[in-house]
Structure 1
Amino acid sequence: MIERNGNAKAQVITKINSKTIEKIAINNILIGSTILSDEWEAYKVLEKLYNHEYINHDLGKYIREPVSTNMIESFWAVFKRGIIETLIY
């Protein structure tokens, strides 16, 4: 998860499904907030409690103003790069 101001939170999850996604969201995101994501089916559960906007990557869409997943994609790219460099050196 990453906020527009740049604060990010990551956690390991063992069950990747809508129930887990919903629980994590409820514990970390204010009800009624806007959530931007990709089209993964498990994220659909977020529409019950949040303003959920999504990008359909399967259709080749990556930005639908003002909806974009670029910020979280960049976070993961930097995070993974840090892990790889740590393991190499």
Structure 2
Amino acid sequence: MASKIIGKINISAYDLETDVKYLNSVTKQPEEYDEFGQGYWKNLSVYNASGDASDTQYRNTDKCFPTEHAKLCPGIQNLVQL
């Protein structure tokens, strides 16, 4: 079966520029994993299983909590909770 677009989200309706500027200004901590690619990999948790922004562990879970970074990014929160 061929793929097709089933919907579109108008992201211009969200103030993402302010949120992205904030996220780019945050000092990233060292990644728990080094096997994901070449060079240096950095990650910033906006949502994760614990709600702790310093938790960089990838794991299967049915829980997703906003970190303190998400709480400072209302545009992204509105988009994710759409």
TM score, norm. by length of structure 2: 0.25
Q: Report which of the two structures shows the higher radius of gyration computed on alpha carbons.
A: 2
Higher relative contact order (CA 8 A, sep 6+): 2
More helix per residue: 1 or 2? 1
More strand per residue: 1 or 2? 1
